[in-house]
Chain A
Amino acid sequence: MSRLELKSVSKAFGTTLPADRLSLAVEPGEIVAVFGPSGSGKTVLLRMIAGMFEPDEGEILIGGRSMVGAPPERRGIGMAFQNFALFPHMSARQNIASGLRGKAAEVAARVQAISRLLKIEHVLGHMPRELSNGQKQRTALARALIGSPDVLLLDDPLRNVDAKLRYEMRLELPNLLRRGSSSVLYVTQDYREAMAIADRIAVLIDGHLEQVAPPEDIYARPASVAVARLFGDPSINLVEVTPLAEHGALSAAISGARVHLGPAGAEPPTAACWLGVRPEDLMISLSAADDAVPARILAVTPIHEKAVLLLRLADGTEWLAALPPDAPYTASDASVFVRFTPEAALLFDRASGRRIELSHRRQAA
Chain B
Amino acid sequence: MEHSSLAGRIFRGIALALVLVFFMFPIVWIFLMSFQTNEQILRIPPRLVFEPTLGNYAALISGQLRTTAGNLEISFVHNLWNSFALSSAAVVLALLLGVPAAYAFARFKFKLGETIAFTLLSFRFAPPLLVLLPLSLYYQDIGLNDTYFGIVWVYQLIALPLILWIVRGYFEDISPDIEHAYRLAGHSWREAFTRIAVPLAGPGIAAAGLLSFIFCWNNFVFALILASADKQPVTVGALAFVTASGIQYGQIAAAIVLSVTPTLLLALYAQRYLVEGLSLGAVKG
Contact = CB atoms under 8 A, between A and B. Distances in A.
Interface of A: 47, 50-52, 71-73, 75, 77-79, 81, 83, 85-89, 98-99, 101, 143, 147
Contact of A98 (B182, B188, B199): B182
B200 A88 contact: yes
Interface string B184-204: 111111000000100110000
Given A72-B180, A85-B181, A143-B181, A99 B186 contact: yes
A85 B175 contact: yes
B177 A147 contact: no
Given A87-B196, A88-B200, A73 B178 contact: no
Contacts of A50: 180, 184
Given A86-B181, A98-B185, 12 more contacts: A51-B183, A71-B183, A71-B188, A72-B180, A72-B183, A73-B183, A73-B184, A75-B184, A83-B175, A85-B181, A87-B196, A143-B185
Given A87-B196, A89-B199, A89-B200, A81 B186 contact: no
7 contacts: A52-B176, A71-B183, A72-B184, A73-B184, A87-B178, A98-B182, A101-B186
A51 B184 CA distance: 9
A50 B183 CA distance: 10
B185 A99 contact: yes
Nearest to A82: B177
A138 to B, nearest CB: 15
Given A71-B183, A143-B185, A81 B177 contact: yes
Contacts of B196: 87
Given A87-B196, A89-B200, A79 B188 contact: no
Contacts of A73: 183-188
A85 B180 CA distance: 9
A274 to B, nearest CB: 40
Nearest to B191: A73
Does more than half of chain A's interface fall in helix, strand or loop, or is it mixed? loop
Contacts of A52: 176, 180
Contacts of A81: 177, 180-181
A79 to B, nearest CB: 5
Interface of B, helix, strand, loop or mixed by DSSP? helix
Contacts of A51: 183
Contacts of B178: 85-88
Contacts of B175: 83, 85
A137 to B, nearest CB: 13
A86 B182 CA distance: 9
Contact of B182 (A47, A71, A87, A101): A87
A147 B200 CA distance: 25
Contacts of B186: 73, 99, 101, 147
A320 to B, nearest CB: 39
Of the listed residues B177, B183, B184, B189, the one surrounded by the most CB atoms of chain A closer than 10 A to its CB is B184
A165 B47 CA distance: 74
B183 to A, nearest CB: 4
B200 to A, nearest CB: 6
B186 to A, nearest CB: 5
A51 B187 CA distance: 13
A147 B180 contact: no
A78 B184 CA distance: 6
A89 B177 CA distance: 15
B181 A87 contact: yes
Ranked 6 nearest A-B pairs via Cβ: A99-B185, A85-B177, A72-B183, A85-B181, A98-B185, A73-B186
A51 B180 CA distance: 9
B181 A147 contact: no
Given A83-B177, A85-B175, A85-B178, A147 B185 contact: yes
Contacts of A101: 186
Nearest to A78: B184
In this complex, the member of A51, A75, A99, A101 whose beta carbon has the largest number of chain B beta carbons within 10 angstroms is: A99
Nearest to B183: A72
A89 B186 CA distance: 18
Contacts of B181: 79, 81, 85-87, 143
Contacts of A143: 181, 185
Contacts of B176: 52
A237 to B, nearest CB: 40
Contacts of A47: 180
A341 to B, nearest CB: 48
Contacts of A86: 178, 181
Contacts of B188: 71, 73
Nearest to A50: B184
Contacts of B200: 88-89
Contacts of A89: 199-200
B177 to A, nearest CB: 4
Contacts of A79: 180-181, 184
A194 B186 CA distance: 29
Nearest to B174: A88
Contacts of B185: 73, 98-99, 143, 147
A102 to B, nearest CB: 12
Nearest to B177: A85
Nearest to A97: B185
B181 to A, nearest CB: 4
Nearest to A153: B184
A47 B186 CA distance: 16
Contact of B184 (A77, A83, A87, A88): A77
A98 B179 CA distance: 12
A50 to B, nearest CB: 6
Interface string B66-93: 0000000000000000000000000000
A71 B199 CA distance: 22
A71 B200 CA distance: 23
B188 to A, nearest CB: 6
A71 B187 CA distance: 10
A72 B179 CA distance: 11
